[in-house]
A and B are shown apart, each in its own frame.
Chain A
Amino acid sequence: MEDVDDKFLKKNKEVPLREELRPRKVTTPDGQEIEIEPLRDYFCEAQPKVHPKAYSKIVEDFYNWARSNSLWILGFGTGCGAIEMRPLMTPRFDAYRYGIQWRPTPRQANLLVISGYLSVKTLKRAIRAYEQMPQPKYVMGLGSCTINGGMYWDSYNTIKRLDDYLPVDLYIAGCMPRPEALLHGFMELKQIIRKGEAEGANKYAENFAQYKANQKAVIKDWDMPDYNW
């Protein structure tokens, strides 16, 4: 956490929990009194697990081949870089021919593209989206903002190194990288997956405590469970 300056870190002052998230008693329409605790009731709090590879190498290689040729991207644009993803769906670049598709829900996505600067507020949403994706999942940092903060280096509310908060498989440098660079990045990611080295989800599970500490150090109103499926 050396790259986060003091002003930016969370002070010890606790931010009170939003009213709708506090535990309370509710009277149901048929007159029963029930206790609800939204943070417990609405989320699954199971810790992430390290999932082993398939037992046989041939099977795992086949799976990795399938994973690399069917990359489903979560349609979630965090910053200005999201505009570079749109041309990939159009005739000029057409990423679909490489098996790359966009999915509207994190449950069906395998790749989270953090497209540009990530404000602390958006980081919270990015974490939730990332944790809801099924394993194995990949994260790609787009633009220099995700590498060292880029032009937002001394901003008061954007994070600098994405790798401190989510396990990044691949960075694409540039401000902004053009769609060709993005396509090249997808091809590189495919190589990484095929080699079996894209194990970011397991890395996240192994170093869970450290990632959570980093995330909580900057997110000022942490109003969700530690792990939200």
Chain B
Amino acid sequence: MNSLPNFEWVQVAYALLTLFIVINYGMVMTAVVRKIGARVGGRYGIPVWQNYIDLAKNIALRSKITHGVMFYLGPVFRLTGGVGLLLFVPTIYGSEWHQNFSYAGDLILALYFIFFGTLGMALGAGESGHPHSAIGVSRGLSQVTMAELPLALGVYALSLQYQTLDITEIVAAQQGSIFNWTVFTNPLATVAAMVAFVGTMMRSPFDVVIAPQEIPIGPPTEYHSSYLALMQTNRVLFPVAKTVIYMNLFFGGATSWAEFAIKVFCLYMVSVVIGVVHPRFRVEQSIRFFLKWGLPIGVLAILTV
């Protein structure tokens, strides 16, 4: 389904609908996950609609200050990374509506977009001039760069296996039976990529970037009101968009919104469950972890494919 030659304008509306659904799904899902965490701790937890209120509140704040042009653009780039990631990847396989703007080489573009927001945020947070931001940015960039290695290797192993860079074709090859999923046909590549997945979800043990209780929340320290609202939107959108890629590449994609909701939630919970039982890595520990475990598995996946 190479959509670019037969592009139609109505696809823009379809893609916006996808975006709308995914943002709302992310809003509710992240709140539900926080509520689950609270219930595990014996608390009642936040209401499931708390994210919406926080967003409205941040937009409603009256005073905003800026530290320069990049300070404005940082959250915009961050959100662009999330939206771009979602829009160039088929969200629902086989659906005319939620195919988005996927095309023959979208796998490479997706790899790029995963990194894009981090870079934009680094520039924006850097201009805010707060020491905690600078520390957070340097930690974040080094950690995300290292986590990207096993992901890239896993993805290359995949494109060798399926002989394509088209996510839609990769999803098509996994249809039919649960045993056609990449997680069963190429477990090594899946493990390598999942290492990167857990490493970039900003959850413990890889949350040294925002490091609560240590460098108060890192890069976004200076961000407030509408800037923060943009980043909150990305905060719910980006993990879901990233999970959609993993779902498409390794777990058979989704053919309906119900399947999408269940699979994304389960994949997201992988990082949550690992997070609640592991203490935080220091940045050099996490880099060593990716090099010691992620990288060899990724190389092995390429060699054995």
A positions within 8 Å CB-CB of B: 44, 49, 51, 62-63, 66-67, 69-70, 90-91, 94, 96-97, 99, 101, 103-105, 107-108, 110, 134-136, 201, 229
Q: How many angstroms from the CA of A67 to the CA of B225 in the assembled complex? A: 12
The answer to whether B44 and A97 have CB atoms under 8 Å apart is yes
Determine the interface band of chain B, counting residues with CB < 8 A from chain A: 20 to 34
Determine how close the nearest CB of chain A comes to the CB of B127; give it in whole angstroms.
14
Top-5 shortest CB links A-B: A104-B216, A63-B60, A91-B42, A66-B56, A70-B57
Determine how close the nearest CB of chain A comes to the CB of B214; give it in whole angstroms.
10
A102 nearest CB neighbor, chain B only = B212
Residues of B close to A105: CB separation below 8 A: 216-217, 221-222
Q: Which of B1-9, B46-54, B141-149, B293-301 contacts A (4 or more CB under 8 A)?
A: B46-54
- 29 CB-based A-B contacts, threshold 8 Å: A44-B65, A49-B63, A51-B62, A62-B56, A62-B60, A63-B60, A70-B54, A70-B56, A70-B57, A91-B42, A94-B38, A94-B44, A94-B45, A96-B38, A96-B43, A97-B44, A99-B47, A99-B54, A101-B46, A104-B216, A105-B217, A105-B222, A107-B221, A107-B222, A108-B223, A110-B57, A134-B62, A134-B64, A136-B62
A71 nearest CB neighbor, chain B only = B57
Cross-chain pair count, CB within 8 angstroms: 80
The answer to whether B56 and A134 have CB atoms under 8 Å apart is no
Residues of A close to B64: CB separation below 8 A: 134
Q: How many angstroms from the CA of A94 to the CA of B46 in the assembled complex? A: 9
The answer to whether B43 and A135 have CB atoms under 8 Å apart is no
9 extra interchain contacts, Cβ-Cβ under 8 A, other than A66-B56, A105-B222, A134-B61?
A: A49-B63, A63-B56, A90-B43, A96-B43, A97-B44, A99-B53, A108-B228, A134-B65, A229-B65
- Does any Cβ of A come within 8 Å of B176's Cβ? no
The answer to whether B224 and A107 have CB atoms under 8 Å apart is yes
Interface residues of B in 206-229 (CB under 8 A from A): 212, 216-217, 220-225, 228
Determine how close the nearest CB of chain A comes to the CB of B16; give it in whole angstroms.
24
Q: How many angstroms from the CA of A69 to the CA of B54 in the assembled complex? A: 8
A107 nearest CB neighbor, chain B only = B224
Interface centre among A44, A49, A104 (most CB of B within 10 A): A104
Identify which of A63, A97, A108 contacts B46 (C-beta below 8 A). Answer: A97
Residues of B close to A91: CB separation below 8 A: 41-43
Identify which of A44, A67, A96, A101 contacts B60 (C-beta below 8 A). Answer: A67
Determine how close the nearest CB of chain B comes to the CB of A106; give it in whole angstroms.
9
Q: How many angstroms from the CA of A94 to the CA of B225 in the assembled complex? A: 25
Determine how close the nearest CB of chain A comes to the CB of B53; give it in whole angstroms.
5
Residues of A close to B54: CB separation below 8 A: 70, 99
Q: How many angstroms from the CA of A135 to the CA of B60 in the assembled complex? A: 10
Known: A91-B42, A105-B217, A229-B65. A69 touches B53 (CB 8 A): yes
Q: How many angstroms from the CA of A136 to the CA of B88 in the assembled complex? A: 39
Q: How many angstroms from the CA of A201 to the CA of B63 in the assembled complex? A: 10
The answer to whether A51 and B63 have CB atoms under 8 Å apart is yes
A54 nearest CB neighbor, chain B only = B60
Identify which of A70, A99, A101, A134 contacts B225 (C-beta below 8 A). Answer: A134
Interface residues of B in 40-85 (CB under 8 A from A): 41-47, 50, 53-54, 56-57, 60-65
Known: A96-B46, A135-B61, A135-B63. A104 touches B53 (CB 8 A): no
Determine how close the nearest CB of chain B comes to the CB of A73; give it in whole angstroms.
13
Determine how close the nearest CB of chain B comes to the CB of A56; give it in whole angstroms.
13
Q: How many angstroms from the CA of A67 to the CA of B62 in the assembled complex? A: 11
Q: How many angstroms from the CA of A26 to the CA of B54 in the assembled complex? A: 45
Residues of A close to B47: CB separation below 8 A: 97, 99
Q: How many angstroms from the CA of A67 to the CA of B44 in the assembled complex? A: 21
B216 nearest CB neighbor, chain A only = A104
Q: How many angstroms from the CA of A45 to the CA of B38 in the assembled complex? A: 42
Q: How many angstroms from the CA of A195 to the CA of B163 in the assembled complex? A: 64
Residues of B close to A136: CB separation below 8 A: 61-62
